[in-house]
Amino acid sequence: MRPLITPLTVVLNAEKVYALPTIKDVDGDPFKVIVLYAGDVILPDFMTFDYVKNALKIAPTDEKSVGTYNLQFKITDSHSLKGGGSKSRIYDFTVIVEKFNFESLHKMKDKLKQRQKIQYASVEVTGISD
C-alpha cells in the first residue's frame, strides 16, 4: 500500500497551494518530482506544479472542475548516476473541488456561536468563588 497524503479541499473560485515537505535523499542523490493525474503528467487545466518550489497550485474557476481528483507525487532519485539504478516512491494525493455552500457556512457559524456561549458560561461559572 502506498503512502497517502491528507486530502485537500478547494472551493470553486478560490486558490490553494500545496507545497511538498522538504525532500532529502538519504544518499544525497539529486531527485526529481513528477505529478501524475490518471497515470499521465498532464494535469487538469486549473492545476499547475512548480518544479522549482515543489508546489501544486490549484485554482478552479469553472463549475466543470467540481469533483474529486486522484493525483500521485512520484519522487525518483538519480541513483543511476552512480550506476545503481534509480529508486522511486509514489505518494497518493486527493484534491476535492467543491462549490461554495452557504448552508454549510451557516451551520459552521451556528456551531461557533454555541461554542462561544459554552466558553462564556464556563468563564462565568469558574469566576465565582466562595
> What whole-number distance in Å separates Cα of residue 67 and Cα of residue 97?
5
Please write the tens of the pLDDT for every residue from 115-125: 666 554 444 44
Place of cell 469558574: 126
- 58: pLDDT confidence band, cut at 50, 70 and 90? very high
Which of 86, 61, 60 has the alpha carbon at shortest distance from 8?
60
The pTM is what?
0.70
Q: Do the beta carbons of residue 46 and residue 64 sit within 8 Å?
A: no
- 103: pLDDT confidence band, cut at 50, 70 and 90? low
Which of residues 116 and 37 earns the better pLDDT score? Answer: 37
- 85: pLDDT confidence band, cut at 50, 70 and 90? low
**What is the pLDDT, as a whole number, of residue 113?**
74
Q: C-alpha 9: how far from its chain's center?
A: 7
